[in-house]
Structure 1
Amino acid sequence: MADITPAELRQRQQAGETPLLIDVRETWEHEEGRIPGAQNIPLNSLPEKLDDLDEWKNQEIIVHCKGGGRSASAKAFLTQQGFTNVRNLLGGYQAYTAEGK
């Protein structure tokens, strides 16, 4: 599945769409600022949270981090675990917040 731009995510949020949005940054980073609706699952905690995400295996999941690196790893990991529709937020939280200014 193709990755998603901050502009596309904002448009979808404004249209009332609510895909599963996972912030793979550390908890302290998430607490400092977050994308509305994002659920915080730090990258190193993702393996132990797989059962919680099982119902999303064939549904859209958007992962993000600060700049896109950790979320690219999260996308690869989830895809390896059989998730079929994982998208990375290009540029991460930094690009999303810059887009909104």
Structure 2
Amino acid sequence: MHEYLDFVVSNPLPFAVLVFILAMIGWTEFSRMTSGVKHLSASEVVQLMNRDDAVILDVRDDAEVREGMIGKSKHIPLSALGQRLAELDKHREKTVIAYCRSGNRSSQACRMLRKAGFQRVVNLRGGMLAWRDANLPVRKR
């Protein structure tokens, strides 16, 4: 045990960086678990779409949407979601499945939707990349 303390005392900066990184990982995981947003795989999203009357929300930019969309997605770019939330008001009681290219922007969109009062919010983990990797159908706009 004494050698560990010697290491920490003789290397305070690397140890502080390690503690900071571990704290950030812990905070990120804690936030994800307590956000009220489900993060589902592509196959789990397909199952949800088949059994639930879900709204699919594409939060990618216009250029990305031209490459293809999932089913009958409603396209609202993340940058405009705050101003266009009223377009989703009639779907408040439904499950909203959000996706983007990789799952990061849609995770932000899900947090926005939760703050706006949407109760059933799902993020497509891995986004459109995961959807395509699973060889699931994509429609052109």
TM over 0.5: yes
Asked if residue 29 in structure 1 is aligned to residue 64 in structure 2, the reply is yes
Q: Which structure 1 residue ranges, 4+ long, deviate > 3 Å from structure 2?
A: 15-18
Asked if residue 8 in structure 1 is aligned to residue 44 in structure 2, the reply is yes
State the alpha-carbon separation in 2 of the partners of residues 98 and 49 from structure 1.
Answer: 30
Structure 1 gaps, min length 5: none
Which one has a bigger Cα radius of gyration? 2
Percent identical among aligned pairs is 31
State the alpha-carbon separation in 1 of the partners of residues 51 and 122 from structure 2.
Answer: 18
The within-5 A match list for 1:78-93 is 78-93=113-128
- Of structures 1 and 2, the one scoring higher in RCO (CA 8 A, sep 6+) is 1
State the alpha-carbon separation in 1 of the partners of residues 73 and 56 from structure 2.
Answer: 5
Question: Does the CA contact (< 8 Å) of 2:52 and 2:95 recur in 1?
Answer: no
Q: Label 1:87 to 1:12 Cα distance change in 2 as closer, same or farther (>3 A).
A: closer
State the alpha-carbon separation in 1 of the partners of residues 111 and 47 from structure 2.
Answer: 25
Question: Does the CA contact (< 8 Å) of 2:53 and 2:94 recur in 1?
Answer: no
Shift of residue 82 of structure 1?
0.8
Deviates more, 1:47-56 or 1:66-75: 47-56
Shift of residue 3 of structure 1?
2.2
Corresponding residue for 1:74?
109
Q: Label 1:50 to 1:22 Cα distance change in 2 as closer, same or farther (>3 A).
A: same
Give the alignment's TM-score, normalised by structure 2: 0.65
Q: Secondary structure at the match of 2:111?
A: helix
Q: Label 1:12 to 1:100 Cα distance change in 2 as closer, same or farther (>3 A).
A: farther
Give the alignment's TM-score, normalised by structure 1: 0.88
Q: Which has the higher helix share?
A: 2
Structure 2 gaps, min length 5: 1-36, 137-141
State the alpha-carbon separation in 2 of the partners of residues 57 and 22 from structure 1.
Answer: 13
